Amino acid sequence: MCGLVMNLHDLIVRRIGILIIFTMSAESMRFDLKSGATKCISEDIKGNAMTVGKYHVVYSNTESFPVPDTHKINVRVNSPHGHSYHYENRVESGNFAFTGVETGDYIACFWTPDHKPPVTVVVDFDWKTGIAAKDWSNVAKKGQIEEMELELKKLYETVSSIHDEMFYLRDREEEMQQLNRATNSKMATFSFLSLVVCLSVAGLQLWHLKTFFQRKKVI
């Protein structure tokens, strides 16, 4: 019986791993930011999906603490329609968490003031959305649930996320099909008008040549 439970547990864990690969969205990166420059990162997030992010400046000079103003950054996170969800000015680290109402590309921008002489700031940025943004350690701690029940809960959340993602992709596909149909209709109209213009110009040229030769009594 114990062996059967362990096999079931391993199977659930493997399936959760496979499903999470296809549903979770997480970006963890490190990038350089020069004085006066701006770095923007976009993430496609569907409506009512949770997103969390954290960032900090990597400052190697441990003798100088706190971090000098030359290595502090400004951060802004905007929705696809330009609504601000997070803004920080001259900070060395921070985090944000929100549930997006709009569907589309959310943009996180980092920039530093212009300094003389110029410096290069190294930034660590971790951005998670959907099921990847959920803190399962707190779920297990608060609920006092066993490991098997926690894995089943993860599986349920993952399947629900896949279900929502399928509807989201279907809606996006329908939008793209409508755009393609509208584009094809406009191209067909443009092609017809181009053909009419070409035939009209050809007819005018023939008429002009005919009248010219008639005046010259060639024909």
Domain boundaries, the chain: 25-144
Mean pLDDT of 28-43: 90
pLDDT higher than 60, residue 150 = yes
DSSP letter, residue 115: -
Q: What is the mean pLDDT of residues 209-215?
A: 81
Q: What percent of the chain has pLDDT over 90?
A: 34
Higher pLDDT pick, 136 / 86: 86
Residue 94: CB atoms within 10 A of its CB come to: 14
Which residues are CB-contacts of 3 (< 8 A; sequence separation ≥ 6)?
A: none
pLDDT above 80 for 5? no
Average pLDDT for residues 191-210, to the nearest whole number? Answer: 90
What is the DSSP-derived secondary structure letter of residue 63? T
Q: What is the mean pLDDT of residues 171-184?
A: 90
Closest of 177, 15, 44 to residue 106, by C-alpha: 44
pLDDT at 135: 63
Answer yes or no: is pLDDT of 1 > 80: no
Q: What is the DSSP letter of 82?
A: S
Question: Side-chain half-sphere of 164: how many Cα atoms within 13 Å?
Answer: 16
Average pLDDT, rounded, for the chain: 79
Per residue in 97-147, pLDDT (tens digit) is 988 888 889 999 999 988 888 888 999 999 988 776 666 565 555 444 566
**pTM of the complete model:** 0.58
Identify whether the C-beta of residue 20 lies closer than 8 Å to the C-beta of residue 157: no
Q: Using an 8 Å Cβ cutoff, are 123 and 58 in contact?
A: yes
Helix (H, G, I), strand (E, B) or coil at 218: coil
pLDDT confidence of residue 133: 64
Which of 32-36, 57-61, 177-181 comes out lowest in average pLDDT? 57-61
Residue 43 CA, distance from chain mean position? 2
* DSSP code string of 10-61: HHHHHHHHHHHHHH-EEEEEEEEEETT-EEEEEEEE-TTEEEEEEEEEE---
In which band, very low, low, confident or very high, does the pLDDT at 188 lie, cut at 50, 70 and 90?
Answer: very high
Distance of CA 13 to the CA centre of its chain: 28
The tokens of 154 are what? 């993860």
pLDDT at 103: 86
Q: pLDDT class for 47, splitting at 50, 70, 90?
A: confident
Q: Is CATH 1.10.8.60 what the domain over 25-144 is classified as, yes or no?
A: no
Nearest CA-CA partner of 132 in 22, 9, 10: 22
